[in-house]
Structure 1
Amino acid sequence: MSGTRTPGPQDIVHAEGAQLDFSRSMSYGDYLQLDAVLNAQKPLSPDHNEMLFIIQHQTSELWMKLMLHELKAAIAGVASDQLGSAFKMLARVSRIMEQLVHAWDVLATMTPPEYSAIRPYLANSSGFQSAQYRSIEFALGNKNAAMLKPHAHRPDLLAQVQAFYEAPSLYDESLRLLARRGLPVPASHTQRDWTRPYEESAEVEQAWLTVYRDPQRHWDLYQLGEELTDLEDAFRLWRFRHVTTVERVIGFKRGTGGTGGVSYLRRMLEVVLFPEIWKLRTDL
């Protein structure tokens, strides 16, 4: 009809009452500090593909920050018998790891010649030096004093990593919980030097078998065992995808941080964080 017009986007925005003037109030970008986040990418090479490499690792560090936030609270929850909230947090950590697994799919689009173009600009920087990743490893029980050394030049980072190194891991607190519930976990696994690598125990497996043979009686402990299983399952996939992506992009060259690259990462695949949780499946 004459005198009518089709509503445009401006009409829709106006009709919904959306605020358009943020000169005197906090905006989306203000809340998320997007100026700082989106200006944190500073490629050193002239190569187009370096932006992918930087964003891949920066976003991974953001996810790891959330992972540590959840892990620390989950460990405290297990230590204080607040298992409901701990389970929610552990489930979230597993989903974050799944997110990181898929992130490798994006980096895998970088071909060997593309990586070779930026590698000289990386110097000795390497994901091996990630303080957050090392904190995650320590929180999950993979303790190794040598892994403190890459952070010795930064007292703030060293303090963060060392705190996780010296504290009981998630599995340590889980075993202490089993002992508090009257299950026969030996004192060697509830009162020990938390900086030492975990050692598998037949007695610990028997305690978990008691739980798994009567799930109804020990329902929350049984659920804890399955949350730990989910977590390590996701962690193994994350590690495996890391190995295959590195091999796809750089082959068997040494890593920029001085490690053996793929050979080092493959050895990490052999690490079992919660051994009795996995062994009991054969012995049930």
Structure 2
Amino acid sequence: MVTATGRRYETAADRALTYDDYLGLTTLLGLQRPLSTHPDELHFIVVHQSTELWFKLLAHDLRRIVGLLDADRLPEACTVMRRVNGAMTALLAQMRSLRDLPPHSFHAFRGLLGGASGFQSGQFRELEVCSGLRDEGYLRDLRAVCGGALPGAVVRSLGQRSVAEAHRDAARRAGLGDWSALYTEERAATTLYVLSEQLMDYDELWLRWRTEHVALVRRVIGGSTRGTGGTAIDYLERTLRHRFFPYLWESRDTLAAAPAGEEGPRGGTAG
């Protein structure tokens, strides 16, 4: 840029975009600030910070999937859902890396964390509600451990459509009368079937994540010690029953109960 006096100043537009500029690496790599001198604390911070970045991508993509389902663009929803499950797989592997954090290493800096806890992650709660976890038992437990009120992220998400709601509505528009009817030879070739199985994969990946999280907590701090946020492990164990798409799981019960050679009932609505 040239000023009125003829002097030239370099602006951002004059510079070629660099890898560092585009990703904000100077800022990003300066966000890891261990509270102790223990070398393993950096691992703990990086895993949790990158987890929140994956959460951000998941929330973004799940909202896209709701819009695609509402527009009956099922093939595109399948494409995005495949990436969502890839992100979940990466998240699971990332958390597993914390199994290599020795208990004595974690306790060397645990006391410095105060009340900071992964339980306070607003994005995690947003993902649960956006996916479809809205039953009263879940909300009651959450109120109990959050001092009687739901976190703001949950309240906001409850006002928006979930993936489960959009999926059920798309199935109705596709003429599916009962979820067990999805699991027939003629339906197995449909995009709705493929997407539904991807949603089952997503639900199962979260079940694995929760199960391994409980195991990790027991491995690092034991079963009787409360987390840094005061959460008891029995609360974490109760979350293992959560399902985002219970109607897909329950449809298996209907199929198993049908006599040999017969399909499940086709009556009713897919809800």
Question: Gaps spanning 5+ residues in structure 2: where?
Answer: 1-13, 256-271
Question: Gaps spanning 5+ residues in structure 1: where?
Answer: 1-22, 185-206
Give the length in aligned residue pairs: 235
User: How many Å apart are 1:73 and its aligned residue?
Assistant: 0.2
Kindly indicate whether the alpha-carbon contact (under 8 Å) linking 1:75 and 1:169 is maintained by their aligned counterparts in 2. Answer: yes
> Is 1:259 the equivalent of 2:252?
no
Secondary structure of 2:241's counterpart equals: coil
> Is 1:179 the equivalent of 2:150?
no
User: How many Å apart are 1:71 and its aligned residue?
Assistant: 0.7
- Residue identity opposite 2:232 in structure 1: G
User: How many Å apart are 1:161 and its aligned residue?
Assistant: 4.0
- Corresponding residue of 1:16: none
Q: Structure 2 residue aligned with 1:52, among 35, 38, 43?
A: 43
Distance 1:127 1:276 in 2: 29
Superposed CA RMSD: 2.4
Kindly indicate whether the alpha-carbon contact (under 8 Å) linking 1:254 and 1:260 is maintained by their aligned counterparts in 2. Answer: yes
- Corresponding residue of 1:17: none
Distance 1:239 1:209 in 2: 27
- Corresponding residue of 1:225: 196
Query: Which aligned segments of 4 or more residues in structure 1 are displaced greater than 4 angstroms?
Result: 144-153
Could you tell me the TM-score, scaled by structure 2's length? 0.79
Q: Structure 2 residue aligned with 1:234, among 205, 210, 230?
A: 205
- Corresponding residue of 1:100: 91
Per chain length, whose mean CA-contact separation is higher, i.e. which structure has more relative contact order (CA < 8 Å, sep 6+)? 2
Secondary structure of 1:213's counterpart equals: coil
- Which string of whole-angstrom CA distances, capped at 9 and with x for unpartnered residues, describes residues 253-278 of structure 1? 101111103x2221111112212212
- Residue identity opposite 2:246 in structure 1: P
- Corresponding residue of 1:162: 155
- Residue identity opposite 1:257 in structure 2: G
Kindly indicate whether the alpha-carbon contact (under 8 Å) linking 1:141 and 1:171 is maintained by their aligned counterparts in 2. Answer: yes
Could you tell me the TM-score, scaled by structure 1's length? 0.76
- Residue identity opposite 1:122 in structure 2: L
User: How many Å apart are 1:280 and its aligned residue?
Assistant: 2.2
Taking structure 1 as reference, are residues 279 and 266 closer, same or farther at Cα in structure 2, changes over 3 Å only? same
Within a 5 Å distance, the mapping from 1:62-73 to structure 2 comes to 62-73=53-64
Kindly indicate whether the alpha-carbon contact (under 8 Å) linking 1:131 and 1:151 is maintained by their aligned counterparts in 2. Answer: no
Percent of pairs identical after alignment?
Answer: 34
